[in-house]
Amino acid sequence: MGVEGIGARVARKEDKRFLMGQGRYTDDMSVPGMRYAAFVRSPHAHAKIRSIDTSAAKDMPGVIAVLTGREMLDDGIGNLICGWMIHSKDGSPMKMGAWRPIAHETVRYVGDAVAVVVADSMGEARDAAEAVLVDYEVLPAVTDAVRALEAGQPQLHPEAPGNLIFDWQLGDSDATDAAIAAAAHVTEMRIVNNRLAPNPMEPRAALGIYDSAEDHYTCYTTSQNPHVARLVMSAFYNVAPENKLRVIAPDVGGGFGSKIFIYPEEIVCLWASKRAGVPVKWTSDRTEAFLTDAHGRDHVSTVKMAFDADNRITALKVDTIANFGAYMSLFSSSVPTYLYATLLSGQYAIPAIHANVRAVYTNTAAVDAYRGAGRPEATYLLERTVETAARELGVSPAELRRINFIRAFPHQTPVIMNYDAGDYEASLEAAMAAADWNGFPARKAEAASRGMKRGIGMSCYIEACGIAPSAAVGSLGAGVGLWESAEVRVNAVGTIEVLTGSHSHGQGHETTFAQLVAERFGVPIDSVSIVHGDTDKVQMGMGTYGSRSGAVGMSAIVKALDKVEAKAKKIAAHLMEADESDIVIENGALKVAGTDKSVPWFQMALAAYTAHNLPSGMEPGLKEGAFYDPSNFTFPAGCYIAEVEVDPETGKTTIVQFVAADDFGNIINPMIVEGQVHGGIAQGIGQALLEGVHYDPETGQLLTASYMDYTMPRADDLPSFKVSHQVTPCPGNPLGIKGCGEAGAIGSPPALINAITDAIGNNDLTMPATPQKVWAAALAAGN
Partner 1 sequence: MYATNYHRPSSIAEAVALQSASNEAKYVSGGMTLIPTMKQRLAAPSDLVDLRHIAELKGISVNASRVRIGAGTTHAEVSASPELAAACPAICHLAAHIGDPHVRHMGTIGGSIANNDPAADYPSAMLALGATIVTNAREIPADDFFTGLFETALEDGDIVVAVTFDMPAKAAYSKFPNPASRYAMTGVFVAKAQDGSVRVAVTGAGANGVFRHAGLEAALSADWSADAAAGVTVDAGDLLSDIHGSAEYRANLVKVMAKRAVAAA
- Cα-based angle 621, 625, 630 (whole degrees, multiple of 5): 160
Q: By C-beta, is 648 or 670 nearer to partner 1?
A: 648
Q: How far is the CB of 114 from partner 1 (least distance, A)?
A: 18
> At closest approach, how far in Å is the CB of 567 from partner 1?
56
Please count the residues of this chain forming the interface with partner 1, following the rule CB under 8 A: 24
DSSP-assigned beta bridge partners for residue 282: 206
Choice between 158 and 451, CB closer to partner 1: 451
Using DSSP's 3-state secondary structure scheme, residue 99 falls into strand
Is residue 690 a contact point for partner 1 (CB under 8 A)? Answer: yes
> Which residue's CB is nearer to partner 1, number 130 or number 580?
130
Q: Which of 11, 579, 707, 764 binds partner 1 (CB under 8 A)?
A: 707
- Residue 124 Cβ vs partner 1, minimum distance, rounded to whole Å: 10
**Strand ranges of the sheet holding 47-53, from the earlier edge strand across to the other edge:** 106-107, 47-53, 133-138
> Does position 495 bind partner 1 by CB under 8 A?
no
Closest distance to partner 1 from the beta carbon of 454 (Å): 19
What are the C-alpha distances in Å from 692 to residues 50, 74, 298, 308, 590? 34, 39, 10, 37, 57
Q: In terms of Cα–Cα distance, which of 12, 31, 15 is closest to 23? A: 15
Nearer to partner 1, 393 or 776 (CB): 776
Which CB atom, from 58 or from 126, has the smaller least distance to partner 1? 126
Q: Residues for the chain: how many in total?
A: 783
Q: What are phi and psi of 171, to 5 degrees?
A: 100, -175
Interface pick for partner 1 out of 238, 539, 701, 711 (rule CB under 8 A): 711
Which 3 state secondary structure label does DSSP give 351? coil
Residue whose CB is less far from partner 1, 225 or 323: 323
Residues 275-334 that bind partner 1 (CB under 8 A): 287
Single residue of 50, 708, 715, 782 touching partner 1 by CB under 8 A: 708
Q: Is 524 in the site for partner 1 (CB under 8 A)?
A: no
Q: b/e for 311-328, b at 16 or more Cβ within 10 A?
A: bbbbbbbbbbbbbbbbbb
For residue 451, the minimal CB distance to partner 1 (Å) is 11
304 contacts: CB under 8 Å, gap ≥ 6: 180, 186, 187, 188, 315, 316, 317
Contact 179, 351 (CB under 8 A): yes
Question: Would you count residue 772 as binding partner 1 (CB under 8 A)?
Answer: yes
Span interacting with partner 1, options 258-266, 275-283, 462-470, 709-717, rule CB under 8 A: 709-717
Q: In a 3-state reduction of DSSP, which class is residue 102?
A: coil
43 sits near partner 1 (criterion: CB under 8 A): no
User: Is there binding between residue 126 and partner 1 (CB under 8 A)?
Assistant: yes
Query: Among 192-200, 580-588, 598-606, 699-707, which window interacts with partner 1 (CB under 8 A)?
Result: 699-707
Report CA torsion sign: 615, 617, 621, 626: negative
Q: Which stretch binds partner 1 (CB under 8 A): 212-220, 529-537, 703-711, 735-743?
A: 703-711
Decide whether 602 or 710 has the Cβ nearer to partner 1: 710
DSSP state of 295: B
Residue placing its CB nearer to partner 1 in the complex, 160 or 759: 759
Contacts to partner 1 from residues 649-668, by CB under 8 A: 649-652
- Give least dist CB 318 to partner 1, A: 29
Radius of gyration of the chain (CA): 27
Sheet strand arrangement including 484-490: 528-531, 496-500, 484-490, 623-628
Considering only the stretches 78-86, 413-421, 660-668, 710-718, report the one whose residues sit in contact with partner 1 under the rule CB under 8 A: 710-718
Tell the smallest beta-carbon distance from residue 33 to partner 1 (Å): 23
Identify which of residues 251 and 691 has a Cβ nearer to partner 1 in the complex.
Answer: 691
Using the rule CB under 8 A, is 766 a contact of partner 1?
no
19, 593, 703, 780: which one binds partner 1 (CB under 8 A): 703
| Beta-carbon-side half-sphere exposure of residue 177 (alpha carbons within 13 Å) | 5
C-beta of 425: minimal distance to partner 1 in Å? Answer: 37
For residues 197 and 496, which CB has a smaller minimum distance to partner 1 in the complex?
A: 197
Instruction: Answer yes or no whether residue 123 interacts with partner 1 by CB under 8 A.
Output: yes
Per-residue burial over 10-41, b if 16 or more Cβ lie within 10 Å, else e, is bebbbeeeeeeeebebbbebeeeebbbbbbbb
Q: Which is nearer to partner 1, 224 or 362 (CB)?
A: 362
Q: How near is the Cβ of 647 to partner 1 at its closest, in Å? A: 9
Nearer to partner 1, 115 or 516 (CB): 115
710 touches partner 1 (CB under 8 A): yes
Burial class (CB in 10 A: 0-12, 13-18, 19+), 118: buried
- Residue selected from 27, 127, 645, 674 as contacting partner 1 according to rule CB under 8 A: 127
Considering the rule CB under 8 A, would residue 734 count as an interface residue with partner 1? Answer: no
Strand partners, 84: 478
Query: With binding defined as CB under 8 A, does residue 15 bind partner 1?
Result: no
Q: Are 565 and 559 in contact (CB under 8 A)?
A: no
Which of 97-105, 123-131, 199-207, 392-400 is the region at the interface with partner 1 (rule: CB under 8 A)? Answer: 123-131
B/e letters for 674-701, b = 16+ CB within 10 Å, e = fewer, are bbbbbbbbbbbbbbbbbbbbebeeebbb
Distances from the Cα of 615 to the Cα of 198, 570, 602, 697, angstroms:
55, 8, 18, 74
Residues 632-651 that bind partner 1 (CB under 8 A): 649-651
CA distance 284 to 202: 9
Q: Which amino acid is at 781?
A: A
Taking the least distance from each CB to partner 1, the nearer of 76 and 451 is: 451
Check binding of 137 to partner 1 (CB under 8 A).
no
| 539 burial type by CB count under 10 A (0-12 exposed, 13-18 middle, 19+ buried) | middle
Residue 452: CB minimum distance to partner 1, A: 14
Which is it for strands 47-53 and 106-107: parallel, antiparallel or unpaired? antiparallel
151 or 708: CB nearest partner 1: 708
Minimum CB separation of residue 649 from partner 1 in Å reads 5
In the list 308, 694, 718, 766, the residue contacting partner 1 (rule: CB under 8 A) is 694
The DSSP output letter for 687 is: I
Region of 120-128, 160-168, 225-233, 435-443 interacting with partner 1 (CB under 8 A):
120-128
Q: Please report whether residue 701 would count as binding partner 1 according to CB under 8 A.
A: no
Name which of 196, 198, 197, 203 is nearest 253 in CA terms: 203
Give the per-residue contact string, 238-277, with partner 1 (x = CB under 8 A; - = no). ----------------------------------------
Please, where are the H alpha helices in 546-645? 555-576, 601-610
Cβ(360)–Cβ(153) under 8 Å?
A: no
Q: How far is the CB of 57 from partner 1 (least distance, A)?
A: 15
The angle that helices 397-404 and 375-393 make with each other, rounded to 10 degrees, is 110
Residue 142 sits at the vertex; the CA angle it makes with 141 and 143, to the nearest 5 degrees, is 125
Asked if residue 201 binds partner 1 (CB under 8 A), the reply is no
What are the C-alpha distances in Å from 591 to residues 147, 329, 521, 527, 615?
Answer: 71, 54, 12, 20, 17
Select the span of 108-116, 361-369, 609-617, 702-710 touching partner 1 (CB under 8 A).
Answer: 702-710
- Give residues in contact with partner 1 (CB under 8 A): 123, 126-127, 130, 287, 649-652, 690, 694, 703-704, 707-712, 770-772, 775-776
